[in-house]
């Protein structure tokens, strides 16, 4: 008799921990339309999930990094979220592709990077977009091509959002 009570109590304990999450998943599916998955970039490690109301989810990619297809000044750019970067950071080649002239770049600022100090130019991006999120007037730095090989989406973009945070292995950005 005691064994039956213990087995029954174990089943109840497992059900109590698993049923609420199953119900939440089912309710979320019923209450909101299915998220649109952006598959425009076959090389992207994780697909962007656009949610209603100006939110997107970026699943963690290889190495736990949050990467996605952004648009800067209307042009596509692959970028990686970097909460340790004060500004959005792009290299000279990307800046030229975005319409920022080399003559507009004044490399008078010094920044500390993982590889040591580096000279950068301060610029303002007209707009930076990801999914349904659009942010205007984002400060960015431009570095020499050899100093930066990827676009970093830093705090100058993130601080203009209402919120951002990790949930269930994905980074949620909300405008």
Query: Are residues 81 and 167 located together in one domain of the fold?
Result: yes
Question: Are residue 3 and residue 45 in the same domain, yes or no?
Answer: no
Do 55 and 141 belong to one domain?
yes
Are 76 and 69 spatial neighbours (Cβ–Cβ below 8 Å)?
Answer: yes
Please name which of 74, 65, 68 lies closest in space to residue 56, comparing C-alpha atoms. 68
CATH number at residue 112: 2.40.70.10
> Quick one: pLDDT at residue 9?
37
Asked whether residue 164 carries a pLDDT value surpassing 60, the answer given is: yes
Check pLDDT > 90 for residue 102: no
- Per-residue pLDDT, averaged over 1-28, amounts to 36
Residue 128 structural domain: 34-174
Same domain, 8 and 90: no
Let me know whether 38 and 100 are in one domain: yes
How many angstroms separate the CA atoms of 108 and 148, rounded? Answer: 17
Beta-sheet pairing, 151-153 with 75-81: parallel
Query: Nearest-CA neighbor of 127 among 155, 157, 87, 162?
Result: 157
Residue that wins the pLDDT comparison between 28 and 136: 136
Q: Is 9 exposed, middle or buried (0-12, 13-18, 19+ CB in 10 A)?
A: exposed
Strand partners, 171: 58, 166
């Amino acid at each position: 008799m005691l064994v039956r009570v213990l087995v029954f109590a174990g089943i109840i304990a497992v059900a109590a921990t698993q049923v609420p999450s199953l119900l939440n998943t089912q309710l979320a599916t019923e209450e909101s339309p299915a998220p649109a998955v952006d598959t425009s970039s076959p090389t992207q490690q994780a697909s962007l999930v656009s949610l209603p109301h100006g939110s997107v989810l970026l699943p963690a990619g290889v190495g736990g990094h949050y990467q996605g297809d952004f648009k800067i000044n209307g042009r596509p750019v692959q970028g990686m979220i970097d909460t340790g970067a004060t500004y959005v950071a792009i290299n000279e080649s990307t800046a030229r592709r975005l319409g920022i002239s080399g003559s507009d770049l004044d490399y008078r600022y010094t920044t500390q990077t993982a590889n040591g100090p580096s000279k950068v130019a301060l610029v303002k991006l007209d707009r930076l977009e990801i999914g349904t999120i659009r942010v205007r007037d984002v400060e960015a730095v431009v570095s020499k091509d050899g100093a930066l090989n990827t676009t970093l989406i830093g705090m100058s973009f993130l601080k203009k959002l209402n919120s951002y945070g990790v949930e269930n292995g994905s980074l949620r950005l909300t405008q």
